[in-house]
Amino acid sequence: MRIILEVVESAAPLQYNGGKRLEAKVERGRTDVTEPATIGWIGFGSMGSRMVRRLLDRGIPVAGYNRTVSRIPRHPLLQEAGTPGEVARKAEILFVMLTDGPASLSILSGADGVVREIRPGSLLVNLSTIAPEEAVEESRLLRERGAGYLDVPVSGSVVPAEKGELLFLAGGDPAGLDRIRHYLEVMGRKTLHFGPVGSGMKAKLVINALLASHMEALAEVLLIGEGLGLDRSAVLDMILDSPLATPLYRIKRSNLERRSYEKAFSVDLMTKDLGLLVGTLLRGDPPSSLPSRLYNHFRETQILGRGNEDISSIYEYFRDRMLKR
């Protein structure tokens, strides 16, 4: 929508409709004002709801869909859609943030899905973590409809999502990435481009392997110290006052001291991602056995009933085996 306003002199930034920002091009005697385009959002889970909130708070109108309708927040700039296809009819840029590949494919190719309704020239951005080959297949489905596709999974959990400090790992056409860069800057601190479609997913699986290995290493080192009679909090003090300290260790300290594991990133999701990495590597000649070992440990932690807990609960898995108590 374009609105023409007569102006005499420059004024404060233009606002309308509950605080939505207007982009204005000022010429002598008149201002050409463009209303922000509505974007689509599918998936209002722990991460998605926090990410979309930042967009709404910046005055960006959103058409949103979630299978569980009660999870869609109330906001004057958010239009609730009844189906994924309805989101595709209302927006040219669509973001998807779902749990896994099957969930993502279902909203694309289902009876009321995105593929049936998406318009040529539209762009779908998948922020979920799925297998690289699943991203390639989704891209093919959209390309057949004349639409673009980017895989842009995120590195970071709920607190960085709330603060707009996520790291985006992108795969796909750089021109498409330029179309969404403004939105990514609202939700995150940096975007890295790794190559064609599927590259973003590969990068996410790699960084999550490092996350899992860091978490395991910290848990085991604490237990080694306890086995030697050292206090767990004192060992944490030592680590966090040393050159080996990381932001991850600082974040997880409270969980480990209290042995209470409110999730930021769950064992279920880590197990899923490690399984995707193992499956991807098995298609070639695996350069390392590390992903398989990590997967087995988190899978066993999941089997113990800790799937919905934070990944720091891997401490309990090793405690049962190392201290036998």
- Distance, in Å, from the CA atom of 204 to the CA atom of 126, rounded to the nearest integer, reads 13
**What is the pLDDT, as a whole number, of residue 134?**
97
**What is the pLDDT, as a whole number, of residue 35?**
55
Average pLDDT of the segment spanning 101-128: 96
**What is the pLDDT, as a whole number, of residue 325?**
56
pLDDT tier for residue 322 given thresholds of 50, 70 and 90: confident
pLDDT tier for residue 185 given thresholds of 50, 70 and 90: very high
Amino acid occupying residue 225: G
**What is the pLDDT, as a whole number, of residue 318?**
97
Overall residue count recorded for the chain in this entry = 325
Domain with CATH 3.40.50.720 in the chain: 39-196
**What is the pLDDT, as a whole number, of residue 199?**
98
- Distance, in Å, from the CA atom of 273 to the CA atom of 126, rounded to the nearest integer, reads 15
Closest listed residue to residue 200, CA positions, set 124, 135, 108, 275: 135
**What is the pLDDT, as a whole number, of residue 19?**
43
- Structure confidence by residue, pLDDT tens digits, 70-102: 999 999 999 999 999 999 999 999 999 999 999
Closest listed residue to residue 215, CA positions, set 249, 259, 254, 243: 249
Domain with CATH 1.10.1040.10 in the chain: 202-322
pLDDT tier for residue 323 given thresholds of 50, 70 and 90: confident
- Distance, in Å, from the CA atom of 8 to the CA atom of 279, rounded to the nearest integer, reads 64
Which long-range contacts link 158-165 to residues 24+ away (Cβ below 8 Å)?
Answer: 158/46, 158/47, 158/50, 158/264, 159/251, 159/264, 160/188, 161/47, 161/50, 161/51, 161/187, 162/50, 162/53, 162/54, 164/54, 164/188, 164/189, 165/189
CATH of domain 202-322: 1.10.1040.10
CATH 3.40.50.720 holds for 39-196 = yes
Closest listed residue to residue 125, CA positions, set 90, 98, 85: 98
Residue 7 has pLDDT above 50, yes or no: no
| Residues near 36 by beta carbon (within 8 Å), at least 6 away in sequence | 20, 21, 22, 23, 59, 60, 61
Closest listed residue to residue 134, CA positions, set 104, 174, 110: 104
Q: If residue 95 lies in a helix (H) or strand (E), which one and from where to where?
A: strand 93-96
Helices vs strands, H then E, count in the chain: 13, 14
Residue 212 has pLDDT above 80, yes or no: yes
Closest listed residue to residue 173, CA positions, set 149, 192, 144, 201: 149
- Distance, in Å, from the CA atom of 275 to the CA atom of 296, rounded to the nearest integer, reads 9
Read off φ and ψ for residue 148, nearest 5 degrees: -95, 170
CB 150 within 8 A of CB 173: yes
**What is the pLDDT, as a whole number, of residue 231?**
97
- Structure confidence by residue, pLDDT tens digits, 40-62: 999 999 999 999 999 999 999 99
Average pLDDT of the segment spanning 150-176: 96
The two tokens of residue 49 are 């709801």
**What is the pLDDT, as a whole number, of residue 281?**
86
The two tokens of residue 69 are 């309708």
- Distance, in Å, from the CA atom of 30 to the CA atom of 33, rounded to the nearest integer, reads 10
Span of 10-14, 162-166, 241-245, 261-265 with lowest mean pLDDT: 10-14
The share of the chain scoring above pLDDT 70, in percent, equals: 88
